[in-house]
Amino acid sequence: MMDLPDITLSELKQSEYWTPKTRISGNTIQGLTCSVCGFVGVGWAYLSAPYSINCNRLNHCGARTKTLDLLDIRKDIEKHFKPTRQDPQRPARAYLESRGIRQALKGLKFYYQKNVRNSGTGAVMFPIGKDEKGKTVANGRLLSPPSGVGKTHNSGSTSGIFWQHPGIEYDPYSPTYVVEGIIDALSLVEIGHQAIAVLAAGQDPKKLDLARFKKLVPAFDNDLAGARATKKWIDIYPDMQPIMPDRGMDWNDLLCSGPAEDVKKRFSESLPRFLVNAQLALAGSAHEYATIYHGFFGYPPGIFVHDGCTHFAFLKKRGDEARLVVERCGRFTLKVVSYRKDTSNPENPEYRYHLEIQPKGSRPVQTAASGRDLATPRGLKEFFLTRAKVAFEANANAATAIATTITSSKAPRCFSTP
C-alpha cells in the first residue's frame, strides 16, 4: 500500500516541477523547478520525505514550497488514502502524517469520520471522554474544509473538558503547554514536550480540573483570540509564564518547517523570544510594547500594532542619549493582501497593492493603492483620508513608516496583526 512519501513522490514525478533535468542523487532529488521564482532545475527535495521543494537561489529566492499543498495532496487526502479493511482510519492517519505528526501517533486515539455535517469532507476525530449520559465526547478537524465551512468539529459538548495525549505519561512537574487545538498539542508532543488542548480559545479555565499539572504554560496562538485566552489564564493564575509562537505561525507550522530534530532544537533556542511574544501581546500600552521589544531585541520595533491601532517607535538621539519615542500612526491596522507589478504602461511600470484596512471598532475595508499613493507623506495622507477613509494621524514619521512597510511587504499577510 502506498504511503505518504510514495504518493508525494509519484505526484511530484507527474507534475510540471519534475523536468528532464531532474535526477535522483543519494537521498535527494535534484534539478526540480522552483514554483516561486519559476527557474528550472534550481530546486531540490529529500527523496524519502519529499515534502518541500527548496530553491537553491538563496540570495534571490530561497523559497521552501510545501509539496503537500502545491500538489493538492492534502486537499485530496481522502481520494489518495481511502479507508481499507485493515486500516479504516487511513485517511485520518495520512492527514496527521501530512501535518508532520508521526512519533506522536503512538498510543493516540483517533478515528476517521466521513462526510462531516454533509460538507463532502471527512474529519479526524479525537475521543476525549464521556458526558453525563455516558456518550463519547470528541473533538476533531475537517481534513479539507471547503471555504466557508468551519474547520473544527465537535461531537457532544467540550465545555469543561480538555484533551491530553492518551499514550503518554505526563510528568506533573515538567512544563505542560496549554494550547487551543489538538493538532497544536500533538505538534508540541512530536518534538518531545507535554501539551494539553483546551479545545476552544474561549474555554473557561476555572471549569477545568487541572490539579495534577503543577507547571502549566499557556501557549496560545499569536492573534487576538490567543491574546484574549492568555489574558484569561493569567488573570486566574498570575504566576504562569505564557509563551506564544511567532506572529502568523502556529505550532504546527513550526513543526512542518523542517526535520523534527532541527525543530526541536529551534524550539528550545527560541523559548526566550516566545516568552517575549506573549509579553508583547499582553502589553498594557503602546509605550510598554515598544519598551519590551527594544529591551529584548536591542532595537526599536519600527511600525507595530497595539490595541487595534498602528504605531511607530524609533530612537531619538540627543547628544549621547537615545530616547525611545512612540507615535501613533492611525486608528487602524493594515494588511497587504497581495501586490503586483503593473506593466500596462511599459514606459512607466508601477506596483499596485491590494490592502485590507481594519479601522478600530468597525468593519475592514478592501482597497487598492499604487506606488504613487505611497511615495510621499502627502500622497499617503490623501489616500487614507479620502479613498480609505480612516483616521490617519499624519506626520512625516508615520507616513514614511507606513509606506516603507507596505512597499517592503514581500509576502501577503506579513503585516497581519491583532
Least distance from Zn ion to the Cβ atom of residue 123, Å: 35
Least distance from Zn ion to the Cβ atom of residue 17, Å: 11
If the CB atoms of residues 55 and 73 are measured against Zn ion, the closer one turns out to be 55
Least distance from Zn ion to the Cβ atom of residue 124, Å: 33
Q: Dihedral (C-alpha) 360, 364, 365, 369: value to the nearest 10 degrees?
A: 80
187: region left, alpha or beta (phi > 0 left; psi from -120 to 50 alpha): alpha
> 176 pairs with which residues across the strands?
194, 216
If the CB atoms of residues 43 and 330 are measured against Zn ion, the closer one turns out to be 43
If the CB atoms of residues 38 and 146 are measured against Zn ion, the closer one turns out to be 38
If the CB atoms of residues 61 and 325 are measured against Zn ion, the closer one turns out to be 61
Single-letter amino acid code for the residue at 267:
F
Least distance from Zn ion to the Cβ atom of residue 409, Å: 19
If the CB atoms of residues 375 and 411 are measured against Zn ion, the closer one turns out to be 411
Least distance from Zn ion to the Cβ atom of residue 33, Å: 9
How many Å apart are CA 324 and CA 176, to the nearest integer?
A: 37
How many Å apart are CA 185 and CA 182, to the nearest integer?
A: 5
| Cα end-to-end distance, the chain, whole Å | 45
How many Å apart are CA 52 and CA 45, to the nearest integer?
A: 6
How many Å apart are CA 199 and CA 316, to the nearest integer?
A: 45
If the CB atoms of residues 63 and 368 are measured against Zn ion, the closer one turns out to be 63
DSSP readout, 104-138?
GGTT---EEE-SGGGSS--EEEEEEEE-TTSPEEE
CB atoms within 10 A of CB 217: 22
Nearest to 122 by CA among 101, 96, 145, 105: 145
If the CB atoms of residues 42 and 189 are measured against Zn ion, the closer one turns out to be 42
Task: Check: CB of residue 35 under 8 Å from CB of residue 72.
Answer: no
Side by side, the strands of the sheet bearing 350-359 are 332-342, 350-359, 365-370
If the CB atoms of residues 37 and 168 are measured against Zn ion, the closer one turns out to be 37
Task: Check: CB of residue 253 under 8 Å from CB of residue 263.
Answer: no
Least distance from Zn ion to the Cβ atom of residue 55, Å: 3
Residues forming contacts to Zn ion in the complex (CB under 5 A) are 34, 36-37, 55, 61, 63
If the CB atoms of residues 52 and 222 are measured against Zn ion, the closer one turns out to be 52
Nearest to 332 by CA among 300, 297, 307: 307
